[in-house]
Amino acid sequence: MRRVRTYPAPAALTADPQGVATHCPYCALQCGMWIRSTEHGVEISGRDFPTNRGQLCRKGWTAGELLDSAERLRIPLVRDSREEALRPATWDDALDRIADAFTGLQRAYGNDAVAIFGGGGLTNETAYLLGKFARVALKTRMIDYNGRFCMSAAATAMRKAFGLDRGLPFPLDDIAGTDLLILAGVNTAETMPVLVRHLDELRASGGRIVVIDPRRTPTAALADVVVQPVPGTDVALAYGLLFGAIRAGLTDGEFIAERTVGFADVRATAMGYWPERVELLTGVSVAQLDELIHELALARTTILLTGRGVEQQVHGSAAVLAYINLMLALGRIGRPYCGYGSVTGQGNGQGGREHGQKADQLPGYRRIDDPEARAHVAQVWGIAPGDLPGPGVDAVTLLTDPDTDVHGMLVIGSNPVVSAPNAQLAEKRLRSLDFLAVVDIVLSETAELADVVLPTTQWAEETGTMTNLEGRVLLRQKALDPPAGVLTDIEILHQLARRLGHASGFPTDSRQVFDELRQASRGGVADYSGIDYERIAAENGIFWPCSEPAGIGSPRLFLAGFATPDGRARFVDVAADLDADCPDAAFPFYLTTGRLMDHYQSGAQTRRIASLRRASPEPFAEVHTATARSLGISDGERVRIVTRQGSVILPARLTTTIREDTIFVPFHWGGSGRANTVTTNAVDSTCGMPAFKLTAARVEAVRE
């Protein structure tokens, strides 16, 4: 019997007795689900879709609860001064205030005085139109999005090595068919629980799993080998594995010669990472390094996935490249059931960065400083190439650096007051703006600071496409009507653009926006030109790149060649640099942050769902039992986590599953439990990825 959850019906649904086929609003698996109306309310059930085959995690099962929540926004809110509270307003008043404020700020300070900050959960249509709105209606180069905090390190590394970035260059089903799966900094059992079925299938077929993580996470319970390195030492560990592979004769000379360039320099660097040195650097013993080499030797096929644990460091892109170097040397990329991939986090983290939200990109994954790309997109948009602004700045700079001279900002689909690194700086920066507008479904911590707050539709109340971690473009269909008067994101952008003098060019119909996106992406790296809504629905999604009006696109990349000018992958030599915020006598521990099964991102949605809130009601500091004993700390006792950025007080949760030199704090809460109050705002200089996973800290007992 199919499991379902029901909620009071917030609005009339379509009358189809089979329900409406749609997708979960949370992570990048984008699990398929059905929504239908019953006499008891709205029913949510799992749909047989390739990523989930009818399964949903607890967040998916409860996703409908927020649709009729008393906490959702239903009318615009404005304030007449920062000293006054937000109050209800009409749409015309709220939209006029935004347009007038932005026009005035740009007249006084220039076009770049106004910025846009987007989100990785927005549909492709909204992400595309938001990039166009910034560059055409506002003529500002100041746009970026919270996906910078998620995928920028892996995206940068994959573009350098392969010529393009797609989270997984192969379908999820390939995982079950590989001999060896290596998960580096990936905790899928908590962050993407439904993905575990692929791991179970792999194990059932005789495959083996290696987990590399400073914490022995729930995912490690599924592994055959668990390695717990010193945080931030992935480059050294990857080079140590490459040294071992070279010494054991595991490298694929034919593949290296025929399909890659640059191995000589990487090989020379790897030979400096002999086992004893790697043990000193990483804390991984020589015996365990030998065990990992043995796993590689036994496997004919291997897939290696990285996640935020590896990527959210000041050398995150270097760490990814080091792991890619290992896989290229083994010849286990560009072959069936082999490959490197990054586990995209946000629901549309992939599509959100392909079509114009990033500071340096135009639709189709085109570079904004490429003259040919500018000419193509300008022609689609009906403007001169010279009218397109140039590259902007990364998200952390945009949110924390007053030298950007931004005076006004529109935030849509993001909650940076909780999610930004060194979040008190971001909060201070947002408070200092002359004008802040926020578009959201609830009054998030960021929306509480705004001069104008606009309510928007939720996932089940609009039609649009999403692109999941496989590069599969999905159709998320409208299943119910929003509360009266609530607009979609693209309707809001249309209304604002009209007030800024652009009565045309910003459609309110998602299909029209997607058709324009197809034109703008045509010929780009992320080519969607052959995809339409009907094909998506008929084929359970279409994989990009897809320029032909037939088939399912490109589920497996790199089988015939890489997306580089000569078709060869690049080995990229990288250095194992020290982190910007290293432990010392005053701050002797590594603080790392991450997600829990019951919550998602900043928690703005999941903290408002009663069952999820009961399951994980508050943040905590995970401390090794031996460390707690040495500090005189007992389980549940409040402790102060102090870093060079600030401090936060949390209850201690004692465990033996984390390294003794490491503290873990989940990041789903704002206010006094905000983990990012104490994280560093140091970033990877190549991509702007914040170092959430590595902040030097100390732990103190809090005595009443």
pLDDT at 581: 81
- Give the integer Cα–Cα distance in Å for 427 and 417: 5
Instruction: Average the pLDDT over each of 573-582, 585-594, 655-664 and give the range with the smallest value.
Output: 573-582
Share of residues in the chain with pLDDT > 70 (%): 97
pLDDT band at 40 (very low <50, low <70, confident <90, very high): confident
**Three-class SS of 546-558:** CCCCCCCECCCCC
| CA 377 – CA 141 distance, rounded (Å) | 15
The pLDDT score that the predictor gives to residue 345 is 83
Burial class (CB in 10 A: 0-12, 13-18, 19+), 358: buried
Q: Is 396 strand, coil or helix?
A: helix
Distance CA 582, CA 341 (A): 28
| Average pLDDT of the chain to the nearest whole number | 94
Q: Are 267 and 216 in contact (CB under 8 A)?
A: no
- CA atoms of 34 and 22, how far apart (whole Å): 6
pTM value? 0.94
- State which fold the 152-342 domain adopts: Dimethylsulfoxide Reductase; domain 2 (3.40.228)
Residue 15 is predicted with a pLDDT of: 44
Choice among 146-150, 286-290, 424-428, 436-440 with the minimum mean pLDDT? 146-150
Percentage of residues in the chain having pLDDT higher than 90:
91
The confidence band for 579, taking pLDDT boundaries of 50, 70 and 90, is low
Alpha-carbon distance of 582 to 592, in angstroms, equals: 12
pLDDT, mean of residues 428-449: 97
Q: Encode burial over 389-404: b for 16+ CB neighbours within 10 A, e otherwise.
A: beebbbbbbbbbeeeb
Q: Which residues contact 191 (CB under 8 A, 6 or more apart)?
A: 27, 307, 343, 345, 594, 595, 597
pLDDT band of residue 2 (cuts 50, 70, 90) is: very low
Q: Is the pLDDT of residue 16 over 80?
A: no
Spatial distance between the Cα atoms of 133 and 356, rounded to a whole number of angstroms = 10
Architecture of domain 90-145+368-543: 3-Layer(aba) Sandwich (3.40)
CATH class held by domain 4-68:
mainly beta
Mutual angle of helices 234-247 and 286-298, in 10-degree steps: 60
At 508-538, the pLDDT tens digits run 999 999 999 999 999 999 999 999 999 999 9
Of 388 and 14, more confident = 388
Report the pLDDT value the prediction gives residue 8, as an integer from 0 to 100: 44
Domain ranges within the chain, ordered by starting residue: 4-68, 90-145+368-543, 152-342, 589-701
Task: Please report which helix (H) or strand (E) contains residue 493, including its range.
Answer: helix 489-499
pLDDT the model gives residue 9: 40
Q: List pLDDT tens digits, range 344-399.
A: 889 899 999 899 999 999 999 999 999 999 999 999 999 999 999 999 999 999 99
Q: What pLDDT, on the 0 to 100 scale, is given for residue 306?
A: 97
The pLDDT value given to residue 14 = 40
In CATH, the number for domain 589-701 is 2.40.40.20
Q: Say if residue 7's pLDDT is above 50.
A: no
Tens of pLDDT, residues 242-262: 999 999 999 999 999 999 999
Cβ neighbours, 10 Å, residue 85: 8
Q: Is the pLDDT of residue 5 over 70?
A: no
